Structures are given as structure tokens and as C-alpha cells.
Amino acid sequence: MVKKIILLFILMLLPSYAFADNIGVTFENGFYHITLKGEKIKKKIKFVQSDKLVTNKEIHDKYNSKLTINTGFFDLKNQQTISYIVNNRKIIADPTKNKSLMSNKELAPYMDKILNRSELRILKCGFKYKYQIARHNEPACKHCKIIASAQGGPQLLPVCDLDKNLQNEFFIVRKNNKVVRQSASVLYRAARTIVGIKDNDLHILIFPTDNPKTMSEVAIICKNLGFEKAMAFDGGSSTSLDYQNIHLISKQFNGDTGRKLKSFMIIK
């Protein structure tokens, strides 16, 4: 009886943790840390997009998903994608078909950088599956095929010079060593949706509105967690998470029901 009481006391001291279907969730230091472990779950990860913008919760319910997060960038005005999304080996969201994006003369000099931003990939390598984070134009790992992918950016690890990488993926523009343009509030603190790879398991970090981070701060956290590679998805008011009884949105005002989004990662 005494042993049982001691065990219950120890469990009460442990961090908030949930584990089901190879999905582990903790909430510590003001952010969610989700771990997707094992081989089977890789086959259950899908990337989906909606023709019209919808909330993360709507997609979560529509697909009867176990876990749903936001992924790529999009244009709020025309509801078109700014990120490549691939599912079942097919491109389902193509930024080159976004006429507003492709005809933007101001962005034309940087279009190669925008279209070549980092993406999370699910690869099939023979009979096994693995994760890869790479720039869009980089080839898949040898003897592997891309089954699904979602583009976002920037890549955070391994990066020798984060500032240079932010420029290479067109998240900042510097002139005379001064930042003259910034995207996705990368230099400011904001809610963040982050993915990382460690020992061929996928990790997801969700930083809510009340614990905002810069990309530099997130990169340090990812490094301390031992991630081999890491990247961001769309963040700020787009950051969303649905899992079991967790329904997280990035509220911008009272009564906010969550920003409507374009693309998502789901676990069937």
C-alpha cells in the first residue's frame, strides 16, 4: 500500500504527458512538445490542403484526424498557396499556379528563393520510411522517393549562419547590413509551429501566443533538445494544434475562433 502511494505521488510530479498510438505529448516551459515515434506512424502522416480557407479544427474533424497542425504559407487575399504541398506522391498545392505571387514584380528577383524554401518530407526507402528536412530543390535521400511533403521555412538546424539562411530563403532582406524587409516575423517574438528530426523520430514544437519566440530563440531550443534537423512552418496567428482534448489557436482578439488556413499535417 505504501509503495502504491509513493508511485502515485511520483506520477503526480511528472510533467503533463499523454501517449497513444505512438504519439507522445508533453507541456513544459510554456510549449507543447509532440513526439511521433516508430515506423508505423510515418505511414499515417498525410498533408492536406483546402480549396477555401478553413480552421485547423475543421480539418481535424473532417478527416477524423488523431493530430492536426498547420503547415505551409498562403495568401490571405486570394486564398492561394505560397508553399508546395505533396500527398500520395502528387503535388496538391503549387505556388507557381498562384498568379498573384508569380506576377508580383517586387518579388520577382527573389522568386527562386521563395520557391526553394525548406520542407518536411516523408520518404519511402525500399520497405522503410524516413523523415527528411531539405530545401525544395534538393534531391531526396539516395534510393528514396518523396511520398508526402509540406513546405514552410526557414530551416533552423543544421545551419551555420541563421541570418544568412533567413536571407537565402527570403525571410529577410538586408541592404547596407540593415534589414529592409521581413517575412513571417522571423526576427520578432511570435507563436511558432516547429518540426524537428531526432533518431528518425519526428518532433513537433508548438509555442502558443503567450510564449512567443524569435527564430533564433527557437533554434537554440531545438539544438538543446538534440534535434539533428529542424524547420518552421507558418507561425504567428496561423499556429494551431488539435489533439485529443487540446484545441490550441493563436488568439488575436476576444472571441477569436482561430485563423482560417490553407494546408495541414494530419495523422489518420
**According to the model, what pLDDT value does residue 67 have?**
98
Query: What is the C-alpha to C-alpha distance for residues 231 and 195, in angstroms, rounded to an integer?
Result: 6
Using the CB atoms, write b or e for 55-74: b if 16+ within 10 Å: bbbbbbeeeebbbbbbbbbb
8 A C-beta contact, residue 135 and residue 118:
yes
Mean pLDDT lowest among 14-23, 170-179, 259-268: 14-23
pTM of this prediction?
0.91
Scored b (16 or more CB within 10 A) or e, 191-212 reads bbbbbbbbeebbbbbbbbbeeb
Least confident of 39-43, 57-61, 146-150, 255-259: 255-259
User: According to the 3-state scheme, what is the secondary structure of the chain?
Assistant: CHHHHHHHHHHHHCCEEEEECCEEEEEECCEEEEEECCCHHHHHEEEEEEEEEECHHHHHHHCCCCEEEECCCECCCCCCECCCEEECCEEEECHHHCHHHHCCCCCHHHHHHHHCCEEEEEEEECCEEEEEEEECCCCCCCCCEEEEEEECCCEEECCCCHHHHHHHCCCEEEECCEEEEECCCCCCCECEEEEEEECCEEEEEEECCCCCECHHHHHHHHHHCCCCEEEECCCHHHCCEEECCEEECCCCCCCCCCCCEEEEEEEC
From residue 7, alpha-carbon distances to 13, 17, 26 in Å are 10, 16, 20
User: Strand 90-93 relative to strand 155-157: parallel, antiparallel, unpaired?
Assistant: unpaired
Domain boundaries, the chain: 18-267
> What percent of the chain stands above pLDDT 90?
88
Per-residue pLDDT of 20-61, as tens digits, reads 569 999 999 999 999 999 999 999 999 999 999 999 999 999
pLDDT tens for residues 167-193? Answer: 999 999 999 999 999 999 999 999 999
Q: Name the more confident of 18 and 89.
A: 89
Q: Do you know the residue count of the chain?
A: 268
State yes or no: pLDDT of 5 exceeds 70: no
pLDDT of residue 14: 44
